Amino acid sequence: MFIAKLAWRNIWRNKRRSLIVIVSVVVGVSSSLLNDSFGVGIMNQMIDNLIKSHDSNVQIYKSGFRENKKVIDVIPGKDKILSLIGRFKNINGYSERVISFGLISSAANSSGVSIVGVRPELEKNVTDIHKKIVSGRYLSYQRNEIVISKKVAEKLEVELGDKVVAVGSDIRGNVSSQMFRVIGIYRSGISEYDNINVYVPLSDAQQMLNLGNNIHEIAVSIKDYRKSSELKEKILAELSNNNIDKMLYEVSTFQELMPMMMAFLDVYQQWSYIIYIIIGIAVLFGVVNTMLMTVMERINEFGVIMSIGIRNSKLVKMIIYESLFMGLIGTITGFIIGLLIYYPMSIYGVDMSNFSESMASFGLPNIIYPKLNTIVIINTLLIIPFVTMIAGIFPAIKAIRLQPSEAVRFV
């Protein structure tokens, strides 16, 4: 305690110099907190947006469907699978889907699309396309309705109420077509989806493709996306428990469905660690420099306390406390300042609409809401004080190497 008290008072000997170090820590901590919370916010929103726009947390298909997209590859024994999924607790819901790649044509133009047949009420539990309708309304249970994206609408030059014809190949490989009326136009904010997905009632899709009661995909949604892999494992385990041949099925998490996006997020995560390292090194050099100066200025004093009989361990402790205290003051202040900046941003968001095109290509909306999580808080609160503690070691070694008889005469 006495050593800590001494160290505390020592850092205020040269207030200006200590404050420069503390300010550098404050800037480092608050900027890393904001940078990290911004990064976490982007990642969360990106994943959330991708999941809720189409992909869901876990998808179930017949083995091979995801790769080949053959209409004939419907889910075997889908009622049994649906009843099994229905028994799962902690899921938001599931949706039955029919998926077919085809062409959609208007009087003016044509576009290659993915025709997604859904049960509107079930789909609402999985995705939020119904919330992203910019014109018209979402699907009801009326026949021959279609919801298309704004981009597709622009390409086809259609408006609400206009007719379009979808053409695909049915289960037997024959060309099939059906007329739909545009009742809603959506904008998901993700170019990849907006360019391709159109939504029709499940029964219409089944009829068009001669699928009977069959479906291609079951999309399952859960509250916490981080538990997607856990859910996948549970589904596979349930298939085995119910003597269902799980080789017939492919169960994929959203991470497996979006490998490029996951790689991007991983790179982003690595980058945030690089930022930490850069800030850490900057703080490290600043503190080492300051502590070396304070050691050089106090050689005589170190000589005196060495003469009195201080042990090296206590001398080291005192110097490390000094740098640690500066780190702690800077960290706490930086954390508070970071929070004060973070808080309004997390409520009102940061408007990035100037970059809306590129944001949309990454599945990001125009407004980013920074998000603090436990890892960000732990990183922010521990890394810099740890670095400052490390920074005290070199000056401390310098101090204990002093020769007491020379140090005590040092002027």
Partner 1 sequence: MEILRVENLTKEYSSNGVTVRALFDINLQFNQGEFTVIAGPSGSGKTTLLNIIGSLDKPTFGKVFFLGEDLSKKSKSELSDIRLHKIGFIFQAYNLIPVLTNLENVEFPLMLLGMSGRDRKERALNIMEELDIAELANKRPNTVSGGQQQRVAVARAIVHSPILVLADEPTANLDSKSASSLLDLMEKMNAGKNITFIFSSHDKNVIDRARRLILLKDGTVVQDAIN
Asked if 204 and 97 touch (Cβ cutoff 8 Å), the reply is no
Q: How many Cβ atoms from other residues are within 10 Å of residue 59's Cβ?
A: 26
Q: What are the residues facing 148 on neighbouring strands?
A: 185
Task: Round to whole Å and give the CA distance between 145 and 127.
Answer: 18
- Residue 282 to residues 163, 291, 336, 385, Cα–Cα distance (Å): 63, 14, 21, 13
In whole angstroms, how close is the CB of 329 to partner 1 at the nearest point? Answer: 17
C-beta closer to partner 1: residue 185 or 305: 305
C-beta closer to partner 1: residue 8 or 348: 8
Extract the tokens encoding 42.
């982007």
Asked if 218 and 181 touch (Cβ cutoff 8 Å), the reply is no
Q: Which stretch binds partner 1 (CB under 8 A): 3-11, 116-124, 154-162, 194-202?
A: 3-11
C-beta closer to partner 1: residue 213 or 403: 403
Phi, psi of 342 (to 5 degrees): -65, -40
Task: Round to whole Å and give the CA distance between 173 and 41.
Answer: 45
Restricting to residues 382-411, which ones interact with partner 1 according to CB under 8 A? Answer: 403-405, 408-409
Task: Round to whole Å and give the CA distance between 109 and 184.
Answer: 18
In whole angstroms, how close is the CB of 324 to partner 1 at the nearest point? Answer: 17
C-beta closer to partner 1: residue 131 or 409: 409
Task: Round to whole Å and give the CA distance between 99 and 118.
Answer: 9
Restricting to residues 29-68, which ones interact with partner 1 according to CB under 8 A? Answer: none
300: enclosing H helix or E strand: helix 299-308
C-beta closer to partner 1: residue 13 or 131: 13
Torsional sign, CA 189, 190, 196, 202: negative
DSSP 8-state secondary structure symbol assigned to residue 54 = I
91-105/110-118 β-pairing: antiparallel
In whole angstroms, how close is the CB of 304 to partner 1 at the nearest point? Answer: 4
In whole angstroms, how close is the CB of 303 to partner 1 at the nearest point? Answer: 8
16 counts as binding partner 1 under rule CB under 8 A: no
**Contacting partner 1 (CB under 8 A), which of 27, 236, 310, 336?**
310
4 counts as binding partner 1 under rule CB under 8 A: no
Extract the tokens encoding 359.
């944001």
Q: Which stretch binds partner 1 (CB under 8 A): 275-283, 305-313, 338-346, 383-391?
A: 305-313
In whole angstroms, how close is the CB of 13 to partner 1 at the nearest point? Answer: 6
290 counts as binding partner 1 under rule CB under 8 A: no
In whole angstroms, how close is the CB of 411 to partner 1 at the nearest point? Answer: 9
In whole angstroms, how close is the CB of 395 to partner 1 at the nearest point? Answer: 17
In whole angstroms, how close is the CB of 1 to partner 1 at the nearest point? Answer: 7
Residues in contact with partner 1, shown as a per-residue x/- string from 311 to 350 under the rule CB under 8 A: xx-x------------------------------------
C-beta closer to partner 1: residue 223 or 401: 401
Extract the tokens encoding 250.
């492919």
296 counts as binding partner 1 under rule CB under 8 A: no
Which bin fits 369, alpha (ψ -120 to 50), beta or left (φ > 0)?
beta
- Residue 135 to residues 165, 169, 334, Cα–Cα distance (Å): 20, 30, 46
* Size, binding site for partner 1 by CB under 8 A: 26
Asked if 116 and 197 touch (Cβ cutoff 8 Å), the reply is yes
In whole angstroms, how close is the CB of 15 to partner 1 at the nearest point? Answer: 12
Asked if 56 and 374 touch (Cβ cutoff 8 Å), the reply is no
Task: Round to whole Å and give the CA distance between 261 and 269.
Answer: 12
In whole angstroms, how close is the CB of 42 to partner 1 at the nearest point? Answer: 47
377 counts as binding partner 1 under rule CB under 8 A: no
**Contacting partner 1 (CB under 8 A), which of 13, 137, 143, 172?**
13
299 counts as binding partner 1 under rule CB under 8 A: no
15 counts as binding partner 1 under rule CB under 8 A: no
Chain residues binding partner 1 by CB under 8 A are: 1-3, 5-6, 9-10, 12-13, 300-301, 304-312, 314, 403-405, 408-409
